[in-house]
Structure 1
């Protein structure tokens, strides 16, 4: 279970000697030490996606009763983030999933997605969907989602068909 307080956060520590203590917890997206991860996420989204096809939420918009925002920390420092936006009582959307480039290659994206899916299930969601890009920079993300069973689907929620977007969904 992933608790909604940093004091009761879920530890994802591998237990490997010398490994960082990895913790995933619900936090506010407005935390002062999260600026770098938001700047990097924004830069990545704008790197090769036309502005009209960028569907990320501004940091302030992630503060909502309908959104659970998570931070992944390694030894107390933020290395990843992700959010679940409730579209309906049974359907959620993954938003703002990002792991810092220098922390990649250690399985943190997989661990982050595992935690987000577990939280969605605990919240009673029966479907989890997402929008991601078609550009080469999103190949690894699409492969990660597919490895968890996400399959391409038509646009959902308020989305419309977009040649720069891939829509994926997972039945929970």
Structure 2
């Protein structure tokens, strides 16, 4: 598996992100969906990465600079054909290392609170993320879980 910083130009990426956004529709009301679309992910404060193997897109993930020391994990997604192959684990490890290398000392995230998002929450917990209060512009929401990880070495 090869993980690269991506410019979000390929059609495979657009399709994966579209599937990512559609996946939330039955599980989160519109006001509780915080995923970014393709254009939103092209913001200069966002570092976007993709995982590839043999020319096939396996998954993606990003982090967004919130301030000089705090970043937010965004758009973690594994292509449905590659679930349970370690793609999300490899991407998350890469994102944590990249955020740390960029000088961030905290990485936070928002994810869903319903059962559909339980595998994601379990993955984040396995990496040391723990529940926290809403951060940045988020507010308490029964449909959201907020988690954070200290990146100090």
Alignment TM-score, normalising by the size of structure 2: 0.95
Indicate conservation of the 8 Å contact 1:133/1:165, yes or no: yes
State the partner residue of 2:23: 44
State the partner residue of 1:97: 76
Shift of 1:30: 3.1
Aligned partners of 2:14, 2:134: CA distance in 1, in Å? 30
Structure 1 segment 1-172 matched on structure 2, within 5 A = 22-172=1-151
Indicate conservation of the 8 Å contact 2:8/2:14, yes or no: no
Q: Secondary structure at the match of 2:35?
A: coil
Shift of 1:110: 0.6
Aligned partners of 1:38, 1:58: CA distance in 2, in Å? 7
Alignment TM-score, normalising by the size of structure 1: 0.85
Computing the radius of gyration over CA atoms, which structure comes out larger, 1 or 2? 1
Q: Secondary structure at the match of 1:65?
A: coil
Higher mean displacement: 36-45 or 124-133: 36-45
Q: Secondary structure at the match of 2:117?
A: helix
Q: Secondary structure at the match of 1:24?
A: strand
